[in-house]
Amino acid sequence: MITLKQLAELSGTSIRTVRRVLDNYPHVNSEKRKLILDLAKKYNYVPNMAARSLRLQKKNFVGILFSAFDKNASLHKLNLLNEALINNGFYPLLGKIAENNQLECEKMFANWAGIAEFVVVFIQADHDFTQKEFLSSMHRKYPLKFIFADCDMHDAEYIVAVDRAGSVEQMVHQIAEMGFKHFLYCGKLPSRKQGIEKLMHSRLPMQISMIESNYEFENGELLGDSIASSNADVVFFDTDRMAAGFYSYAQKHRIKIPEDIAVVGLDNEIYGSYLNPPLSTLSHPSEELIQRIMDIILKGKCAVDPLPLKFIVRESLQK
């Protein structure tokens, strides 16, 4: 690690001159310029980030908090955000939310303060309410701007919302138009359920039923009998992995998808397209989400209308 000062000494000039050269300013004796450039290259001068940000009072880092790292969609968002940040000269700093240790979190935020201005929070809607409140309070305590991405928050300054309920509602309309007669919803997540409930008493030319259930793989499998005996011709699950569970049941019990019953999931997990037939799903608007996050970070502006999910129709949904 060579410093500017050393470079100045080696070249027999001063720091000021070295800087002019490295900054590609004009008005430098060309011999000195060459000498300095050679030396910089030889000793591979790299500016010290810590000193630079101290001097410039600049916050180049962006914190990233994830709670559910296990889903394909989370990974995709992380990838996109990472790339966008780096392309714009920021350094993505990964954090973690310590489940039962708020002190640890606070320590992390304390350390981030001073180098980061923004913290992007990806916490699944429907989960972690206490953590969201905690984070919300951190916003007041530390000089950090929290951007809540798809978190179902209402009282924070920077929010990028995703309208799951509205998108689910929209999807049901589309399915009704396709000619299905009996729509079954399996799950319990409010973000989905609310969309269905809005339709329960509408005069859609399609019957709507619900089965309350958890949303894991096993639940989709366990619910098989109930679904089969429901007479529904299309079933929608809270998650793709729950839908995958039903696929497993269907295969064992020789239920044909979509002939006997059409299936739709949510999350657009990679394996959905590996299933037979490929699973239809509601996909996260990851690109748009990241775009909005970057708008906040770069321009401080924040669109208010929530983003819709994208309805991806594959072979599992055909009439």
Return residues touching its own copies (CB under 8 A). 1, 44, 46-51, 53-54, 64, 69-70, 72, 75, 78-79, 82-83, 86, 91-96, 108-115, 141-143, 217, 241, 244-245, 247-248, 251-252, 269-271, 273-276
**Would you count residue 55 as binding DNA (CB under 7 A)?**
yes
Cβ closest to DNA, residue 7 vs residue 84? 7
Cα dist from 73 to 33, 129, 183, 268, 284, whole Å: 50, 21, 26, 7, 7
Distance CA 163, CA 306 (A): 5
Neighbours of 298 (CB within 10 A): 12
43 or 217: whose CB is closer to DNA? Answer: 43
Q: Which of 24, 44, 57, 100 binds DNA (CB under 7 A)?
A: 57
Which option in its own copies, DNA, none does residue 252 bind, with CB closer than 5 to 8 A by kind?
A: its own copies
Q: Which two tokens stand for residue 171?
A: 């999807």
- Cβ at position 272, least distance to its own copies in Å: 9
Q: How far apart are CA 112 and CA 53, in angstroms?
A: 13
Q: Report the residue number, 55 or 301, with the smaller CB distance to DNA.
A: 55
Name the segment binding DNA (CB under 7 A); options: 12-20, 80-88, 219-227, 259-267.
12-20
Q: Does 182 bind DNA (CB under 7 A)?
A: no
- Give buried/exposed letters for 161-179 (b at 16+ CB in 10 A, else e): bbbbbebbbbbbeebbeee
Q: Does residue 5 bind DNA (CB under 7 A)?
A: yes
Among 9, 10, 24, 29, binds DNA (CB under 7 A): 29
Q: Rule CB under 7 A: say whether 19 interacts with DNA.
A: yes
Binding segment toward DNA, per CB under 7 A, in 6-14, 208-216, 247-255, 286-294:
6-14
Who contacts 307 (Cβ-Cβ below 8 Å, separation ≥6)? 160, 161, 162, 163, 285, 288, 289, 292
Which long-range contacts does 216-223 make (Cβ < 8 Å, 24+ apart)? 216/241, 216/242, 216/245, 217/241, 217/242, 217/244, 217/245, 217/248, 218/245, 219/186, 219/245, 220/186, 220/244, 220/245, 220/246, 220/247, 220/248, 220/249, 221/245, 221/246, 221/248, 221/249, 223/186, 223/249
Stretch that binds DNA, among 14-22, 166-174, 229-237, 243-251 (CB under 7 A): 14-22
Is residue 280 involved in binding DNA (CB under 7 A)?
no
Binding pattern to DNA, positions 94-133, x when CB under 7 A? Answer: ----------------------------------------
Which residues contribute to the site for DNA (CB under 7 A)?
1, 3-5, 12-17, 19-20, 27-29, 32, 45-48, 51-52, 54-57
